[in-house]
């Protein structure tokens, strides 16, 4: 099984999670046929919506002067993140009752990077949709994705 890859401006490398082999680099050209392990795959790129571009831009340009958490719970950190911008950030928590604590000290950091660091520290994933930032467990997202495919 190949891991999902993020869209990039230049090229990508695919990583096979089963045998830990890398394939590529491949140029991101919509409709291009690439061959991986003697299997031809068609690359289909979804257009990024204007709303998502705007949210990503806002997160990257919103600079948080000081982040200082010691043993804070996830909800406390998310309340801070929601209020870190002049326009509140919509954050969706699909993690359930997260009891892990977060310790983080940063200065002059874009909100975009701050949210990614929080996800990395917590061991969960982040997805930026059109109007919200979503935190989720990777294995649960794969289950939801499979349910959508069955319908």
Rounded distance between C-alpha atoms, residue 76 and residue 91, angstroms: 12
Structure tokens at 97: 């009752």
Q: Is residue 128's pLDDT more than 80?
A: yes
Rounded distance between C-alpha atoms, residue 16 and residue 20, angstroms: 5
99: buried, middle or exposed (CB in 10 Å: 19+, 13-18, 0-12)? exposed
Strand ranges (E), the chain: 11-15, 22-27, 33-36, 39-42, 63-73, 91-93, 101-110, 125-128, 133-136
Q: Is residue 2's pLDDT more than 50?
A: no
pLDDT (0 to 100) of residue 6: 43
Between the CA of residue 40 and those of 36, 43, 140, what are the distances in Å?
6, 10, 28
Rounded distance between C-alpha atoms, residue 31 and residue 128, angstroms: 24
pLDDT (0 to 100) of residue 45: 67
Rounded distance between C-alpha atoms, residue 81 and residue 89, angstroms: 7
Q: What is the pTM of this model?
A: 0.67
Q: Is residue 29's pLDDT more than 80?
A: no
Q: Is residue 21's pLDDT more than 90?
A: no
Weakest mean pLDDT among 22-26, 43-47, 68-72, 84-88: 43-47
Q: Which residues make Cβ contacts (< 8 Å) with residue 107, sequence separation at least 6?
A: 65, 66, 67
Q: pLDDT by residue (tens digit) across 109-127?
A: 999 999 999 999 888 889 8
Q: pLDDT by residue (tens digit) across 6-15?
A: 444 456 777 7
Query: Does residue 49 contact residue 130 with C-beta atoms inside 8 Å?
Result: yes
pLDDT (0 to 100) of residue 69: 94
CA dihedral 87, 93, 94, 99 (to 10 degrees): 160
């Amino acid at each position: 099984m190949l891991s999902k890859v993020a869209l990039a401006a230049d090229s990508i490398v695919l990583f096979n999670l089963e045998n830990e082999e890398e394939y590529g680099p491949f140029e991101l050209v919509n409709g291009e046929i690439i061959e991986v392990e003697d299997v031809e795959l068609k690359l289909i790129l979804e257009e990024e919506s204007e709303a998502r571009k705007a949210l990503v831009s806002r997160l990257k340009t919103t600079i948080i002067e000081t982040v200082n958490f010691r043993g804070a719970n996830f909800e406390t950190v998310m309340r801070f993140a929601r209020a870190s911008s002049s326009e509140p950030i919509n954050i969706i928590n699909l993690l359930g009752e997260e009891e892990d604590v977060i310790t983080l000290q940063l200065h002059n950091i874009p909100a975009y990077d701050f949210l990614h660091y929080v996800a990395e520290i917590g061991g969960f994933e982040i997805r930026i949709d059109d109007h919200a930032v979503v935190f989720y467990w990777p294995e649960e997202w794969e289950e939801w994705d499979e349910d959508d495919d069955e319908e």
